[in-house]
């Protein structure tokens, strides 16, 4: 956890932030992916990474980059939103 902007309260809070992807259709909706946002300060702090068991493969990524990673993963799994043309 780290003090960072938390949209629900509109100011800085000591919290964790996640990025979520949902799939919505005429049949309903479901969450299909999620990524925990790792602040740059944590990504670069080896002692915090070790203490919290963050794998070495996990690197810093902005929230938009996390969203793009999730979209690419969904497409690779065969999920094709109607609005998306690649």
- What pLDDT shows up at residue 25? 82
Nearest 5°: CA angle at 28, between 73 and 78?
25
Judged by phi (left if over 0) then psi (alpha if -120 to 50, else beta), residue 53 lies in left
pLDDT, tens digit (0-9, with 9 covering 90-100), for 28-68:
999 999 999 999 988 999 998 999 899 999 999 999 999 99
Average pLDDT, the chain: 88
Query: From CA 3, how far away is CA 73, in angstroms rounded?
Result: 29
Answer with the residue of higher pLDDT: 65 or 2: 65
Judged by phi (left if over 0) then psi (alpha if -120 to 50, else beta), residue 78 lies in left
């Amino acid at each position: 956890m780290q003090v960072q902007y938390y949209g629900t309260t509109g100011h800085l809070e000591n919290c964790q932030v996640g990025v979520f992807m949902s799939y919505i259709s005429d049949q309903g909706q479901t969450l299909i992916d999620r990524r925990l946002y790792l602040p740059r300060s944590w990504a670069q702090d080896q002692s915090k990474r070790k203490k919290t068991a963050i794998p070495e493969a996990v690197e810093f990524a902005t929230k938009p980059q996390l969203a793009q990673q999730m979209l690419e993963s969904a497409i690779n799994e065969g999920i094709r939103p109607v609005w998306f043309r690649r």
